[in-house]
Copies of this chain bind each other. A is one copy, B any other.
Amino acid sequence: MAGNDDAKRRGLLIVHTGDGKGKTTAALGLALRALGHGMRVLVIQFIKGPWRAGEHHMAERLQPDLEIIATGTGFVSPDVREWPPEALQAVRDGWALARERVLAGAADVIILDEINYVLHWGALPLDEVLEVLWQRPAGVHVVLTGRDAPPELIEAADLVTEMRALKHPHEQGVKAQRGIEY
């Protein structure tokens, strides 16, 4: 793969978790850096629906080096029993795609956005996800984002950052900002 010319370095398993801003955003920043080194980046978004945010416009501008696939329906609930069948199916389809791409080493950096929530809620089997991460080609970096990363995932990861909100503008009545938060 382009940019993956240093076989001695191994791909990292990176987790961004916590209740603060910046989990997905830091993954996108990592994407920007990797792209700058000629690496290919694939983002698979769980949860989020097919709306178009700033990163999607950039994926168009930077294709084929940056690919973003939104697999979610936008539905979220911590109680999996409340999930409508189509939301659960979307998560499973998203994971089937992610599984295939990760095992194939389809990009140098693969970002599984918001998958931590999905795992925490039990909407995907954690054992299977960990097994796939373990079996991935050695040079592939995988970044998993979302609140409430399961302890087993944190245990398996090379690098874990917790984003903590010390202050958030919504508390102060400021609206979400285009280009900053979405």
CB-contact partner of A28 in B12, B29, B178, under 8 A: B29
Among the stretches A75-83, A88-96, A127-135, A164-172, the one at the interface with B is A164-172
Q: Which residues of B contact A164 (CB under 8 A)?
A: 18, 161-164
Q: How far, in Å, is A54 (CB) from chain B's closest CB?
A: 3
The complex is assembled from copies of this chain, and their number is: 2
Q: Across the interface, do B25 and A30 meet the contact criterion of CB distance under 8 Å? A: yes
Q: Could you say which of B34, B53, B62, B174 contacts A180, with CB atoms under 8 Å apart? A: B34
Bound complex: CA A3 to CA B57 (Å): 13
| Tally of contact residues, A, Cβ under 8 A | 61
Q: Mark A14-36, 1 if CB is under 8 A from B, else 0.
A: 10111011101111111111111
A48-63 to B contact mask, C-beta < 8 Å, 1/0: 0000011111100110
Give 19 new A-B contacts, CB below 8 A, not counting A12-B169, A26-B26: A9-B175, A17-B166, A21-B161, A22-B163, A25-B33, A26-B29, A29-B29, A29-B32, A30-B180, A33-B55, A33-B58, A33-B179, A35-B54, A36-B57, A37-B54, A109-B179, A162-B164, A163-B163, A163-B164
- 5 cross-chain pairs, A with B, having the tightest CB-CB distances, nearest first: A36-B54, A28-B29, A29-B29, A33-B54, A36-B57
15 A–B pairs (Cβ distance < 8 Å), ordered by A: A9-B177, A22-B29, A26-B26, A28-B29, A29-B30, A30-B179, A33-B180, A36-B57, A36-B61, A141-B179, A141-B180, A154-B166, A160-B165, A161-B165, A162-B163
